[in-house]
Structure 1
Amino acid sequence: MKSWSNKILLPLFFFFLFYSVAYAGSYTSSAHGNSSYGVNRSSISGYSTGNCAHCHEQHAMIGGTEPKPASGSASPFCLFADNFSGKTSNPYNQSDNFCFYCHCYTDATSLQTPNFTNYNYSRTFGGYTTSSIYSIYKAFNQNSYHNLYDIWDFAKTNFSSFFKEDSNPCSVCHNVHLAKRNKENPDDPTYSAISKPSDHFNLWTNTMNDYAPNKYQAPYRYSSGCEPDGGSCNDLTIQAQKTPDYVTFCQDCHVYNMSSYGLSHTPINWNTDKHGNAIRSRNERMGQPIIKPPYDVTAVFNYVLSCLDCHEPHGSYSYKYLIRKEVNGNITNVTADTHDDWKTLCLRCHYREHTNKSCLECHYHGSGKF
């Protein structure tokens, strides 16, 4: 019996040892596991930067000061606080989402040492440095935002292979054990912070050039050059290879009918929208150009846009639809569903406008005129 046990247990030991090291290798190269700038909870001591214990408490609590365990049971995933409160709308409190305990900069007291910023997309990749969004926590507490409860509810059904009742909504788009710091390396999509929901255990590193070879034109950056890093606008391929394929990524969810979540213009089919793969029908109207640089061309050409050329991923100042504050090198001001508001977005890329009508009356995803 002893000999049989050793033959079974010893290989199992080495299997789990190898698996742990291999898995740790991915984590230690992530933003959270990095030994220089990874997780480092200020309220505990004796653990190195990046150590698992900064988020997970293997015996349910350290020093008895955390809000878990309750009623004698450990917190799911052995986290030091609730993953998600289940709150159905913002404004969110820090305690509503576990990630807000660190991704909050000065908008709340951060448990991370040292503190750090998470600027919005308009600033990080669009160069709009006057943006006042410094943290994920604040981004989600704006007028327009990805509703965390809706994400949680949707993922339980559609991504149940990894997403569970006690999972965090942020984990639908991010694998915290793999995510890297794309914000520090805007020109290198291998430093991806996202994982496609249907492929949760891998980083999403495909680019817009993979999605639409020689068809993705990066928009102007607010400061100079083109997104995502201010590089030259003259070469389609170079900037496209720096930009993640947000179309395929976002359509992992938005290919579904989401009218029950208040998204009436879903599912989105980027192959049939003119901002997507549908062929451009004209470059001018009544002898006047209709498309602004860098999208103006002398021959009809189908430039394909990325979802984040116009939208923020977490939250936005806009009244709806996650509209970016900076688009194609200039600012927007979509605070209401009016002609004057929407033209601040549409005229970033178009010369012409209709009068006295909201652009959304005719132009929206799936309308055939978008």
Structure 2
Amino acid sequence: MINNIKKIIVLFIAVLFIGSSDGYAGEYTSSAHGTQNDTITGVERLTNYTDGHCGHCHEQHSSIDGSEPSPAGGPDNYLLFDTSHSNQTANFCFDCHVDTASQQTGGVLRNYSYTYRAGNYNDSASNDNIKEAFSASSVSSHNLDSIVTFITEKWGYTTDSNPCCGCHNPHAVQGDPAGVSSAKSSSTRGYPVSRPSFHSALTSWGLWGDASGEKMSDYTNYYQAPYRPGNTTYEPDGSLTTNGSNLTDFVTFCQDCHSSNMVGKPYNLSHTPIDWSTLGVGESGGDKHGKKVATQDGSGSYVNLVEPYSSAWGPSNGLVLACTDCHEAHGAQSLMLIRKEVNGAALSADITSMSTTAWINLCSKCHDISLGSVSRDIHHDNTGAPYPNPKQC
């Protein structure tokens, strides 16, 4: 009788775990590490396992057939085969996400910049792998140690958490585009990010941007997609969609962290907190690239914009940008993570100094800043203009 009860209890527990794992299994097999529904090769470090197998990242016993596979020295936290995080260029994820000596079968794994993937601008020579984007070869990059500092003791993160997990759920992250080296198209989409503020509920820490309510068109009715080169199709996937219904709500995603004050050490981000949502009149309210409408000049005119923004502009509501319209996420060859291409046109020079005239190469991608333009009048020439002595344009 007792043995039968034990068997029933064991069977009940087994069924309970099997049932609770269905969501995890489906999410993982739909991820880039788990073959993304058999459309790509998932993680594949060892020939002993099929691609996508957990053993490629997690060493259960630190040995296979009696010996530890390369690199030796594991397991680390979470049974990872290498140290989770050491510094800006030594991170577990970089063991595979690098274009030389990658642990991934073949030794090469390319992950292109957002400028290339969404903008279809070929800057792959300068930014075609994740490790490179975070390295000293980038003028600016997200500081991984600062990410660890910020997320520790928030949302279920600890000092052992890998900083990459601040933005990505490794068991859900998808390739975007999936399984191709070309720019995104409407048929090759994936969703790479997960909101850090949702991390505390691990059973529901899914992707962000793949569902209704998580698009830029949900954040605002006044989003206008930027051009791709050629000015006939639009980011992020080369389609004719312009309202952000095909773009992750990156504002809400990024604001999980960047709505905090990060001025001074250890972050040294002088332009924080970023306020993208507060409305206001005149110079009050939030950022004018967010939901606040840009200020009129003395004649009642608004800023001069270039296409496609000039046709989409409404003086009573303005336009709202997504963070990725101007910024890379990992690293860039310009300050402030500024992209190499914005609104279909390449910057003629990298921006490497806050005082350089190269900033005109960014602003002019969306604004008409020629002498005598309304934009110049509002910013520099008009009485009470916020920047009366232009030095950075």
Query: TM-score by structure 2 length?
Result: 0.79
Determine the C-alpha separation between the residues in 2 that align with 1:146 and 1:305: 20
Match of 2:228 among 199, 209, 221: 221
Secondary structure of residue in 2 paired with 1:149: helix
Q: In structure 2, what residue type is equivalent to 1:19?
A: S
What is the Cα deviation at residue 340 of structure 1?
1.1
Residue 306 (1) aligns with residue 300 (2):
no
What is the Cα deviation at residue 176 of structure 1?
0.8
Match of 2:208 among 199, 204, 208: 204
Determine the C-alpha separation between the residues in 2 that align with 1:226 and 1:277: 21
What is the Cα deviation at residue 9 of structure 1?
2.1
Determine the C-alpha separation between the residues in 1 that align with 2:227 and 2:299: 24
What is the Cα deviation at residue 4 of structure 1?
3.4
What is the Cα deviation at residue 67 of structure 1?
4.9
Cα 1:102–1:186 change in 2 (3 A) is farther
Instruction: State the Cα deviation string for residues 211-236 of structure 1 (Å, max 9, x = none).
Output: 112x110011124421112222xx53
What is the Cα deviation at residue 148 of structure 1?
0.6
Which residue of structure 1 lines up, in the alignment, with residue 181 of structure 2? Answer: none
Which residue of structure 1 lines up, in the alignment, with residue 56 of structure 2? Answer: 54
Assess if the C-alpha contact under 8 Å between 1:66 and 1:81 holds in 2. no
Assess if the C-alpha contact under 8 Å between 2:133 and 2:141 holds in 1. yes
Q: In structure 1, what residue type is equivalent to 2:345?
A: N
Determine the C-alpha separation between the residues in 1 that align with 2:248 and 2:223: 11
Assess if the C-alpha contact under 8 Å between 1:283 and 1:291 holds in 2. no
Q: Which runs of 5+ in 1 are unaligned?
A: 364-370
Residue 166 (1) aligns with residue 160 (2):
yes
What is the Cα deviation at residue 288 of structure 1?
9.4
Q: Which runs of 5+ in 2 are unaligned?
A: 179-183, 200-204, 278-285, 371-375, 388-393
Assess if the C-alpha contact under 8 Å between 1:279 and 1:302 holds in 2. yes
Which residue of structure 2 lines up, in the alignment, with residue 368 of structure 1? Answer: none
Instruction: State the Cα deviation string for residues 301-331 of structure 1 (Å, max 9, x = none).
Output: 411100010110000001x211111011112
Determine the C-alpha separation between the residues in 1 that align with 2:189 and 2:177: 12
Instruction: State the Cα deviation string for residues 71-105 of structure 1 (Å, max 9, x = none).
Output: xxx421111101101x2xx4x2xxx1111111112
Residue 315 (1) aligns with residue 331 (2):
yes
What is the Cα deviation at residue 190 of structure 1?
7.0
Structure 1 window deviating more from structure 2 (328-337 vs 244-253): it is 328-337
Residue 291 (1) aligns with residue 305 (2):
yes
What is the Cα deviation at residue 253 of structure 1?
0.5
Assess if the C-alpha contact under 8 Å between 2:227 and 2:234 holds in 1. yes
Which residue of structure 2 lines up, in the alignment, with residue 112 of structure 1? Answer: 104
Determine the C-alpha separation between the residues in 2 that align with 1:110 and 1:69: 17
What is the Cα deviation at residue 152 of structure 1?
1.0
Structure 1 window deviating more from structure 2 (184-193 vs 256-265): it is 184-193
Determine the C-alpha separation between the residues in 2 that align with 1:126 and 1:285: 36
Determine the C-alpha separation between the residues in 1 that align with 2:194 and 2:314: 37
Instruction: State the Cα deviation string for residues 267-305 of structure 1 (Å, max 9, x = none).
Output: 111022111100233499797962111111475141110
Q: In structure 2, what residue type is equivalent to 1:303?
A: L
Match of 1:134 among 117, 122, 128: 128
What is the Cα deviation at residue 189 of structure 1?
9.7
What is the Cα deviation at residue 178 of structure 1?
0.5
Determine the C-alpha separation between the residues in 2 that align with 1:280 and 1:20: 50
Which residue of structure 1 lines up, in the alignment, with residue 351 of structure 2? Answer: 334
RMSD of aligned residue pairs (Cα, Å): 2.7
Q: In structure 1, what residue type is equivalent to 2:177?
A: K
Residue 347 (1) aligns with residue 364 (2):
yes
Structure 1 window deviating more from structure 2 (274-283 vs 185-194): it is 185-194
Cα 1:299–1:31 change in 2 (3 A) is closer
Q: In structure 1, what residue type is equivalent to 2:292?
A: A
Which residue of structure 1 lines up, in the alignment, with residue 25 of structure 2? Answer: 24
Assess if the C-alpha contact under 8 Å between 1:104 and 1:138 holds in 2. yes
Secondary structure of residue in 2 paired with 1:158: coil
Calculate percent identity across the aligned residue pairs: 39
Which residue of structure 2 lines up, in the alignment, with residue 194 of structure 1? Answer: 193
Which residue of structure 2 lines up, in the alignment, with residue 267 of structure 1? Answer: 273
Matched positions, count: 338
Q: In structure 1, what residue type is equivalent to 2:103?
A: L
| 1:58-69 alignment, distance < 5 Å | 58-62=60-64, 63-67=67-71, 69=73
Determine the C-alpha separation between the residues in 2 that align with 1:186 and 1:155: 33
What is the Cα deviation at residue 60 of structure 1?
2.5
Determine the C-alpha separation between the residues in 1 that align with 2:255 and 2:239: 27
Assess if the C-alpha contact under 8 Å between 2:82 and 2:92 holds in 1. yes
Determine the C-alpha separation between the residues in 2 that align with 1:188 and 1:258: 38
Determine the C-alpha separation between the residues in 2 that align with 1:32 and 1:340: 43
What is the Cα deviation at residue 3 of structure 1?
3.6
Residue 180 (1) aligns with residue 174 (2):
yes
Assess if the C-alpha contact under 8 Å between 2:112 and 2:129 holds in 1. yes
Determine the C-alpha separation between the residues in 2 that align with 1:288 and 1:177: 47
Q: In structure 1, what residue type is equivalent to 2:49?
A: Y
Assess if the C-alpha contact under 8 Å between 2:177 and 2:189 holds in 1. no
Which residue of structure 1 lines up, in the alignment, with residue 149 of structure 2? Answer: 153
